[in-house]
């Protein structure tokens, strides 16, 4: 087997250019196969702050509002630029790091749309967000696609959209905001179609069997990434036959991204084997459940939280090595 290891994206260190190099060096040292560009800013702010600069959005406190419906056209014209993504490529080339791939975490259409409020005079509820206005979501589809394409052009090989909000839209019995399954598949197709590299989606939190089955039917996705440590019931939503029938691979999260406790190699290995047996061993890109941006210790020490995150990843690498080679 050749199961690869990865990380979802975020780290609990202060945002700085210097920390990008530090993190990549640490990920290289512990043997992560497919690192992301390190995120030390909110995965929403990274992608919505540029639209504030373009005057498409207005930020009030922690909330983003449309400046006007007409201004949304600016999202389609925006030229992507993510400083930390470009700096990561520079560091990797300068240091000569050899990875098996590079992960591009791009916040997805539905999640970004759920954080953009349409009317500043109305309450900040989901009904007042762009995601509830399907006719307006098209602008964000093009915005996200341009960023995914930009990442591919930079040299990222595993193109991820991070879509935690999909777990809200697609429940066990119904879909919210008038979406159909075909609507969701069409959005994914528009984001990824004709782009190079491996195409993947990350949905954290609890997932329904319906969402799992829906994503396996996507013609543009190769890899599905869910969390299984803090949401062990997600194992029950997985159907290995659907993965095989649709030629999909599962990227399992096998360590907590919230609890500042380092899981043992044996604990991780057992969970991995349980998932692997359920999927017919169609697993790859093993990671923690989610990013470590929310990982914190009781004393709030960011350095300590960062070291704990690295130890979690190091034990994931060791557990995967056992499965790949029969040794730690």
Instruction: Write out the chain's pLDDT in tens, 328 residues.
Output: 799 999 999 999 999 999 999 999 999 999 999 999 999 999 999 999 999 999 999 999 999 999 999 999 999 999 999 999 999 999 999 999 999 999 999 999 999 999 999 999 999 999 999 999 999 999 999 999 999 999 999 999 999 999 999 999 999 889 999 999 999 999 999 999 999 999 999 999 999 999 999 999 999 999 999 999 999 999 999 999 999 999 999 999 999 999 999 999 999 999 999 999 999 999 999 999 999 999 999 999 999 999 999 999 999 999 999 999 875 4
pTM of the model: 0.96
- DSSP collapsed to 3 states, the chain: CCCCEECCCECCCCCCHHHHHHHHHHHHHHCCCECECCECCCCCHHHHHHHHHCCCEEEECCEEEECCCHHHHHHHHCCCCCHHHHHHHHHHHHHCCCCCCCEEEEECHHHHHCCEECCCCCCCCHHHEHHHCHHHHHHHHHHHHHHHHHHHHHCCCEEEEECCCHHHHECCCCECCCCCHHHHHHHHHHHHCCCCCEEEEEECCCCCHHHHHHHHCCCCCCEEEEECCCCHHHHHHCCHHHHHHCCCEEEEECCCCCCCCCCCHHHHHHHHHHHHHHHCCCECCEECCCCCCCCCCCCCCHHHHHHHHHHHHHHHHHHHHHHHHCCC
> Which domains, from first to last, does the chain contain?
17-43+79-108+134-325 (3.20.20.210)
């Amino acid at each position: 087997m050749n199961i690869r290891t990865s990380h979802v994206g975020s780290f609990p260190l202060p945002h700085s250019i210097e920390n990008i190099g530090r993190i990549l060096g640490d990920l290289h040292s512990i043997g992560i196969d497919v690192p992301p560009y390190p995120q030390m800013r909110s995965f929403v702010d990274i992608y919505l702050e540029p639209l504030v600069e373009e005057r498409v959005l207005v930020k009030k406190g922690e909330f983003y509002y449309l400046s006007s419906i007409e201004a949304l056209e600016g999202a389609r014209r925006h030229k992507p630029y993510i400083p930390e993504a470009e700096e990561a490529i520079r560091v990797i080339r300068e240091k000569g790091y050899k990875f098996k791939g590079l992960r591009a975490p791009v916040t997805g259409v539905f999640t970004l749309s759920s954080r953009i409020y349409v009317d500043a005079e109305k309450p900040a509820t989901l009904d007042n967000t762009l995601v509830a206005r399907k006719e307006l979501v098209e602008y964000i589809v093009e915005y996200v696609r341009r960023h995914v394409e930009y990442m591919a052009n930079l040299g990222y090989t595993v193109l991820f959209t991070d879509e935690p909000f999909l777990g809200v839209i697609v429940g066990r019995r119904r879909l919210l905001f008038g979406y159909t399954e075909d609507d969701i598949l069409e959005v994914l197709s528009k984001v990824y179609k004709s782009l190079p590299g491996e195409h993947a989606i990350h949905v954290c939190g609890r997932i329904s069997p319906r969402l799992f089955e829906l994503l396996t039917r996507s013609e543009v996705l190769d890899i599905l990434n869910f969390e299984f440590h803090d949401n062990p019931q997600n194992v029950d939503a997985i159907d290995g036959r659907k993965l095989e029938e649709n030629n999909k691979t599962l990227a399992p999260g096998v360590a907590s991204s919230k609890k500042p406790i380092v899981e043992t190699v044996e604990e991780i290995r057992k969970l991995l084997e349980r998932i692997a047996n359920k999927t017919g061993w169609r697993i790859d890109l093993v990671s923690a459940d989610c990013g470590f941006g929310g990982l914190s210790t009781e004393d709030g020490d960011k350095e300590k939280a960062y070291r704990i995150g690295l130890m979690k990843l190091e034990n994931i690498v060791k557990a995967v090595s056992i499965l790949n080679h029969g040794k730690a």
